[in-house]
C-alpha cells in the first residue's frame, strides 16, 4: 500500500502540485530490492530449461503427411493464390528416391473448380497445400476467407 501512495506523491510533485500525502508510512524509503522485484523467476541453471512448452506451437503448425485416397474430397490452395478450393484427388504418385521427389513426399493430382473453370494441379501434404475435407478444416477455411 505505501508503494502506491509514494508513486502518487512523486507524480504530484513532478506535476507541480502542492498537495502531497504525508504520513509516517509514506516517508519511509523503498528498499531497492522491492522497487525492482519481479514475479518472474530466472533459471538457476540451463538444466532447469524445459523446451516442451515453447516448442508445442511449432509442432502443431508443422504440416503432417496425410494419405489421401482416389476420388477423396480435399481442400487445396494453389500456388500464388490466397484462397482454398474444394477438389477431388484423381491420381496419386508415390515418391521415388531416384527422381528427387522424396523430399516433397506423395504427390496428388487434384481437380478443382476455380472461377467457373475446372483446373488441375499437383499438391503435396508435406507442403501444407492440401487438406482433407473434414468439418474442422471446413471451419478453418471459412475463418480464413
What domain count does the chain have? 2
pLDDT value at residue 125 = 82
pTM (2 d.p.): 0.52
Q: Which domain covers residue 27, as residue numbers?
A: 1-39
Are 105 and 71 in the same domain?
A: yes
Asked if residue 92 is part of any domain, the answer here is: yes
The pLDDT value given to residue 60: 54
In a shared domain, residues 23 and 69: no
Nearest to 74 by CA among 122, 116, 137: 137
Residues 119, 83, single domain; the answer is yes
Cα 9 from Cα 15, distance rounded (Å): 10
Q: Tell whether 91 and 34 lie within a shared domain.
A: no
Q: How far apart are alpha carbons 43 and 84 in whole angstroms?
A: 44
Query: Do 114 and 120 meet the contact criterion of CB atoms below 8 Å apart?
Result: no
- In terms of domains, do 69 and 30 share one? no
Looking at the structure, tell me whether residues 35 and 80 fall in a common domain.
no
Q: Which residues contact 86 (CB under 8 A, 6 or more apart)?
A: 73, 74, 75, 76, 112, 113, 133
Mean pLDDT by 10 residues, the chain (145 residues): 54 50 58 55 59 51 72 90 91 75 78 85 87 91 84
- 100 and 35 fall within a common domain: no
Residues 34 and 70 occupy one common structural domain: no
Using alpha carbons, list the distances in angstroms from residue 133 to 59, 63, 76, 84.
22, 15, 10, 11
Amino acid at each position: 500500500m505505501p508503494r502506491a501512495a509514494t508513486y502518487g506523491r512523486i507524480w504530484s510533485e513532478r506535476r507541480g502540485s502542492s498537495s502531497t500525502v504525508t504520513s509516517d508510512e509514506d516517508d519511509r524509503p523503498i528498499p531497492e530490492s522491492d522497487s525492482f522485484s519481479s514475479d518472474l523467476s530466472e533459471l538457476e541453471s540451463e538444466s532447469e530449461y524445459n523446451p516442451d512448452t515453447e516448442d508445442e506451437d511449432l509442432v502443431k503448425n508443422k504440416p503432417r503427411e496425410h494419405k489421401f485416397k482416389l476420388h477423396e474430397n480435399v481442400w487445396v490452395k494453389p500456388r500464388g493464390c490466397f484462397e482454398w478450393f474444394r477438389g477431388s484427388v484423381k491420381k496419386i504418385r508415390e515418391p521415388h528416391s531416384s527422381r528427387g521427389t522424396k523430399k516433397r513426399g506423395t504427390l496428388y493430382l487434384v481437380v478443382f473448380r476455380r472461377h467457373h473453370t475446372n483446373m488441375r494441379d499437383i499438391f503435396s501434404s508435406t507442403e501444407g497445400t492440401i487438406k482433407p475435407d473434414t468439418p474442422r478444416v471446413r471451419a478453418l477455411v471459412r475463418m480464413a476467407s
